[in-house]
Amino acid sequence: MKQKLVFLDIDGTLVDKLETIHPSTVRAVELARRNGHKLFISSGRYKAIMPHCIRNMSFEDGVFAAGAHVVCDSKVIFDRCFTPGDYDRIVSVLMKHNAMTVIESRYSDDMLAQTFRDEFSAMKSWILSLGGRFLEATPAGLDCIGKFVYKSADCSNEQLQAELDGIAKVVTLSYPDSTTGGEVMLPDVNKSVGISEVLRYCGADIEDTVAIGDGGNDIEMLEFCKLGVAMGNAPDIVKAHADIVTDRIENDGLYKAFEMCGLI
């Protein structure tokens, strides 16, 4: 069996909204590795804020921060961040719209959050469990930020996109247990860009790639890889960009996806 490079989203693909990994998912990962395939994370998260259950499964390499930060052989091979000026502009717009904001940094001890309100107490506990910090005032001019997350802004994602046009891309929020909000990413970077860096580093061919995801920030990688698989719990707009749609995560969707792709 020819080795495949498999790129896996985290939230909604590897883990559910409670950050629980299902036994069938663990089994699928074990079997695929046993068959000689290489498995990579491909997530909107930075590596330092992966769920603990994923960290325990020997996922060292992958595409992080929605393509802005790529790790292979446990070393950073690609890293992009907002310029200090663009960073300041994004902070200003999010604050203007009263958004609860999480600022994700390339540095493992910096996940910065502000303007938390009582309704986000569960999310606050979650961020603290991942080592995040909370700020009364947001630092200006940072040069180490690859992504923002926000909730409960007083405007639509479309309006924020219009105000940030040219310096950022706004997509639907993929955090666990999230119904509103979005992610602010670098405009010319996405998961497919990060996957390209992995292929270049490994000397691998796009024909040997599989991508599996469920969120708005997965669309580019589903189209880019040879085989794109959408989870059954993905929105219809994501499914429309996939070659295959598997079952929902709670119905052994990832295991079934690996079977469909001939990985196990």
Q: What's the mean pLDDT when you consider all of the chain?
A: 90
Please check the confidence at residue 92 and state whether its pLDDT lies above 90.
yes
Helix (H, G, I), strand (E, B) or coil at 20: coil
Residue 50's pLDDT band (boundaries 50, 70, 90)?
confident
pLDDT at residue 224, rounded to an integer? 98
Looking at residue 113, its pLDDT comes to: 60
Residue limits of CATH 3.30.1240.10 in the chain:
84-185
Residue 237: pLDDT band (50, 70, 90) is very high
How large is the average pLDDT for residues 161-184?
Answer: 82
Higher pLDDT among residues 81 and 113, named by residue: 81
What local confidence, expressed as pLDDT, does residue 21 receive?
A: 95
Domain 84-185 grouped into CATH 3.30.1240.10: yes
Domain with CATH 3.40.50.1000 in the chain: 5-79+189-260
pLDDT at 115: 55
Least confident of 108-112, 169-173, 257-261: 108-112
pLDDT at 139: 84
Share of the chain above pLDDT 90, in %: 67
Given this model, what pLDDT does residue 152 score? Answer: 83
Question: pLDDT at position 181, please?
Answer: 84
pLDDT at residue 24, as a whole number? 97
Give yes or no for residue 177 having a pLDDT over 60: no
Check residue 243 and give its pLDDT.
98
What local confidence, expressed as pLDDT, does residue 127 receive? Answer: 74
On the question of pLDDT at 34 being above 60, the answer is yes
Please name the fold of domain 5-79+189-260. Rossmann fold (3.40.50)
| pLDDT value for 110 | 58
The better pLDDT of the pair 22, 51 is held by: 22
Residue in this structure with the two tokens 């105000």, named with its chain if needed = 163
pLDDT at 179: 57
Residue 108 has pLDDT above 70, yes or no: no
Q: Average the pLDDT over 28-42 and give the result.
A: 98
> Which tens digits make up the pLDDT trace of 124-158?
777 777 777 776 678 899 999 999 988 888 899 99
pLDDT tens profile 194-227: 999 999 999 999 999 999 999 989 999 999 999 9
Residue that wins the pLDDT comparison between 156 and 107: 156
